[in-house]
Amino acid sequence: MTIYFEEAGVHTEEVLHLVKERAFQGDISAVLIATTKGTTIKAALQILKNIKDNSQKTVLLIAVTHQAGFIKPGKVELDENLREDFENRGVKVLTTTHAFAGVDRAVRKKHGTWQISELIAETLRIFGQGTKVCAEITLMAADSGLIGTNKVIAIGGTGRGADTAWVIQPAHTSTFFDLKMQELICKPINF
């Protein structure tokens, strides 16, 4: 059953409880969580710690951060001490180029010309920022090799915190059209 939040914004605990319930069904290999400063991961470590499916198989937690240089050249927003703490607690932390940005964003910024990956991002945003984030972090995790082709749950949000979660059949950026947004767990109605 899909849950709809009246407004976009911080619904992190509710999202994580819904994700825990869905992950227990047994066909989820990983939970991907978008994070900037680590707040959502801290909450996930409380609610999803030692998350297992119904066959007692551990579900991998993956934190996906903004790429280096997103706000300021050469800077990673996630504090290095937090990153180390998360990794020591079993969370894989991924910092890599955004699937819908990269060189295409540089072309738009310099020449004012929109490229296809940013147009795809804008199209996904018609379902909300969190939906775009969920698709993007799944592509990023697949390209990094942290996930394969088994179903994952991706968690994203609008600004800070989480407000959206999807069950997704992953794909690589080079096979983007094989990505399947299979089950909507939750999202905001107004965004």
Tens-digit pLDDT profile for the chain (191 aa)?
899 999 999 999 999 999 999 998 989 999 999 998 999 999 999 998 777 666 677 789 999 998 877 888 888 888 999 999 999 999 999 999 899 998 888 889 899 989 999 999 999 999 999 999 999 999 999 999 999 999 999 999 998 899 999 999 999 999 999 999 999 999 999 99
Give residue 53's pLDDT. 63
Nearest CA-CA partner of 137 in 39, 77, 62: 62
Architecture category of domain 3-97+128-190 in CATH: 3-Layer(aba) Sandwich (3.40)
Distance CA 56, CA 4 (A): 29
Domain borders along the chain are: 3-97+128-190
DSSP string, 12-34: HHHHHHHHHHHHTTS---EEEEE
Task: Please indicate, yes or no, whether the overall pTM of this predicted structure exceeds 0.75.
Answer: yes
Q: What pairing do the DSSP bridges indicate for beta strands 152-156 and 164-169?
A: antiparallel
What is the spatial distance between Cα 95 and Cα 191, in angstroms, rounded to a whole number? Answer: 26
Per-residue confidence (pLDDT) for residue 77, from 0 to 100: 82
